[in-house]
Copies of this chain bind each other. A is one copy, B any other.
Amino acid sequence: MQQRRPNPERAEATRSALLAAARTLFVEKGYADTSTPEIVAAAKVTRGALYHHYADKADLFRAVIEREAKAVADEIEASASPDAPPGEALLRGSLAYLEAMSVPGRTRLLLVDGPAVLGPGALAALDEAHAARTLREGLEAALRPPRQEGAFIEALTALLSAAFDRAALAIEAGGDRAAYTAAMIGLVERVTASR
């Protein structure tokens, strides 16, 4: 498919400029208060270009979100040590998640505006595909041999993931980073403790 590709670099540059401008404005003013005229002005293109590459404003937002979620997943994966014991790997991944989410704007994009604009289902799917998978696999490994059924582990994963999200939000909002980190580690340890 797609043998003919006229001027692909220019198109890619346009998309890139739109994504960068949109990300900045969405973070600064939120999705609802950011207009497409503002975005294209910041990206130095026209609205025609925007609507040529993206179906609508929400589609552009989705592209921004996907990029961001992938960046988070990549950073987590980059900081993973492949041959660490399950318990420690899980802990390291948790800290890496908090670190990745402390990049300015990420909590607003991924945790506040994202669910409202794309629906919580879409975000959960993205999460599962990227960041949360690491968490679930870590939990499964740490809880092996499985003393619980699959649905329980899945639920536990979701709950812990939500706790991590809240920690990231609280820290970005100026909360006590050390306290939230400690509480998070405490949660993970208590959950994985071979009772």
One of A16-24, A68-76, A148-156 contacting the partner: A148-156
**Interface pair B155/A162, CB less than 8 Å apart:** no
**Interface pair B116/A169, CB less than 8 Å apart:** no
Interface size on A, residues (CB 8 A): 45
- Secondary structure at the A interface, as helix, strand, loop or mixed, is helix
28 pairs from A and B in contact (CB 8 Å cutoff)? A32-B117, A113-B116, A116-B116, A120-B173, A151-B178, A152-B183, A152-B186, A155-B167, A155-B179, A155-B180, A155-B182, A155-B183, A155-B184, A156-B183, A156-B186, A158-B166, A159-B163, A159-B167, A160-B163, A161-B166, A162-B162, A162-B163, A162-B165, A163-B163, A186-B191, A187-B191, A190-B190, A190-B191
